[in-house]
Chains A and B, each alone.
Chain A
Amino acid sequence: MSSTNMSTNASTDPSIDPSAAAPNPAAQADQKPSDQSPPGVSSGRSWRPDLRGRPELWLVPAVFVVVMLAWEFGVKLFGVKEFVLPPPSRILEQLRVQLESDLFWRHVWVTTEEAMIGFVIGVLAAMVLGTAISQLSLVEKTLMPYIVAFQTVPKVALAPLFVVWFGFGLTSKIVMAAVISFFPMLINVIEGLRSADADRIQMLKVFGAGRWQVFRKVQMPSAMPFIFAGIDIGIVFSILGAVVGEFIGAQEGLGYLLLQTNYNFDIPGMFAVLVVLSVMGLVAHAVVRLIQRRVTFWAEQSRVIGA
């Protein structure tokens, strides 16, 4: 505060216009590039990708085309047998045939069902246990050694056991999917709830917040970015779990179909199933990302002071 400032401002009218002090803040906010604005907050964003300064937008498809062409002609050039590595055109053909069969869609549905039910169970269990661990230190101290020990077990190795316990039907695959998506989720829930900023917790406490309010208003929202990271890993893992379960013993599902095509030396058909499995994983990932962007839009912006 300099005295020059004060004398220029020495108005007897106490209601000095504050907008004079903060020069045109609205204009500043509008100058932000639209892709920095969170969804639901920005006004009118363009869906046409801006190619300037984003070479990846054409590099990614270009790499795909080059690899496919090299594969297609390389296989023919070196005379690689179709049951070792079929050319992409054969895989595509086989994929078309499969997509037209109802039986194939039945397999897709079975695997999807197992993975999703298992995923939901795994995520919910991880949320409950993770919350208990983060809120009650006795639970943490008692259970953490077991969780760490159990985490080192390769979960897919349990699949044969689950088939023995839960049979050849859906249940053993659901259990496998649940177990395999549970752990990455659990770790993220615990870390996320711990990540809550201590100053923000103190702020709530000053205003009289109790434990539950601190949990609801700070810890839970702070954990959301972590929880979504866990969900993102977990949902892809759950497909893996379902397929591994089907490998061990099943009458339907994409894992079962993979083994069948393999026994029959239908290698193009096998690749076609792999393509479908990766598309399923990609769709799951994309859906998670879409929801995440809406829920934790604020986490992508780091300009909050006290963060």
Chain B
Amino acid sequence: MSHTAPMERAAVPSDAAAGTEAAADANPSWIRVEGLDKVYHPKRSAPTLALSDIDLHVRRGEFVSVVGPSGCGKTTLLKILAGLIPRTKGEVSIAGREVDRPIPEVGMVFQAATLLPWRTILQNVMVPAEIQKLDKRKSLARAHDLLDMVGLGEFKDKYPFELSGGMQQRAGICRALVHDPAVILMDEPFGALDAMTREYMNLELLRIWKESRATIVLVTHSIPEAVFLSDRVVVMSPRPGRIAEVLDIDIPRPRELRMMSSDAAGVYVERIRKYFNASVID
């Protein structure tokens, strides 16, 4: 395991955290990334080393966030985990299976909502269920529930162009969850949302995570968000993308928004922020 010891332990040990750890011991690394390199070979320019020597182990049911400056390879890492693009070197496996193509148990939220403009919101959310030929009645019920949950209940039969960017992004989140995936990969899912909706969505995400016991890898630009949501935060450094540090976030669960203003959270945020500042000076 590559994660470093946390700088300081939170004062209150929690039962929830102990529970996750017990489950983790049974299945120590569910997502396994070892010695991963990714080189892009663009047609008209020199090759780019986007990821270099990435080691990452995620336990089953764990919530891991990835933060790092723009262009450091976060999207690249997620796409490799999703089996969308080939890796250059190293090993990637999920639940013991090598990832060299998309796996149906994975759900992904994209950086842009990438909805299909000719489908209604509900039809968009149903895309994974259609592709995987899941039971239609059950999937429809779940799609309705998810859309109600993200506040799009009245917009099910609207088309994407009738919705704001943030609303489209929420629909994209529902789509990633409709087939009840065991692994959820999220690429800045809340970037287009206003602060209030974002906090609400954070809480909902924690609820979904708890209910589905899914493993979540979340890429975010917001350091406080990463700290608030995660068991661990992976900090990446820019060009070539490497893992600068992995922090355990020992804030007890269930988490509430007011914990964000706690000293413990503040310490984590400050510590991660230092990496960003250092890379800006570079």
Contacts and interface: CB of A to CB of B under 8 A. Distances in A.
Contacts of A197: 114
Interface in B196-230: 196-200, 203, 207, 222, 224-225, 228
A44 interface: no
Nearest to B166: A22
B113 interface: yes
Contact of B192 (A14, A26, A305): A305
Contacts of B194: 21-22
Interface in A149-207: 197, 199-200, 202-207
Contact of B131 (A29, A209, A301): A209
A207 B222 contact: no
- Greatest chain B CB density within 10 A among A18, A37, A197, A299 is at A18
Given A3-B260, A299-B117, A18 B150 contact: yes
Interface string B71-110: 0000000010011100000000000000000111011101
- Greatest chain A CB density within 10 A among B131, B155, B197, B225 is at B131
Contact of A217 (B79, B117, B127, B169): B127
Contacts of A199: 110, 112, 114
Contacts, number: 149
Interface string A216-244: 01100100100000000000000000000
A26 to B, nearest CB: 6
Interface stretch (A4-12, A123-131, A284-292): A4-12
A305 B117 contact: no
Contacts of B158: 29, 41
B112 A306 contact: yes
A1 B116 contact: no
B199 A1 contact: yes
B278 interface: no
Nearest to A301: B161
A38 interface: yes
A6 B195 CA distance: 10
B258 interface: yes
B102 A207 contact: yes
A306 B102 CA distance: 21
A19 interface: yes
A51 interface: no
A77 interface: no
Contacts of A299: 117
A1 B151 contact: no
A60 interface: no
A89 interface: no
A59 interface: no
Interface in B232-274: 256-258, 260-261
Interface string B154-173: 11001111101111110000
B115 interface: yes
B161 A5 contact: no
A136 interface: no
A200 B260 contact: no
B167 A206 contact: no
Given A204-B131, A206-B102, A304 B82 contact: no
A298 interface: yes
A221 B118 contact: yes
A200 B194 CA distance: 25
A21 B151 contact: yes
A1 B225 contact: yes
5 contacts: A1-B198, A5-B199, A22-B194, A206-B106, A208-B102
Interface of B: 79, 82-84, 102-104, 106-108, 110, 112-118, 127-128, 130-132, 150-151, 154-155, 158-162, 164-169, 179, 192, 194-200, 203, 207, 222, 224-225, 228, 256-258, 260-261
Given A200-B114, A301-B159, 5 more contacts: A5-B199, A21-B196, A203-B127, A207-B131, A221-B116
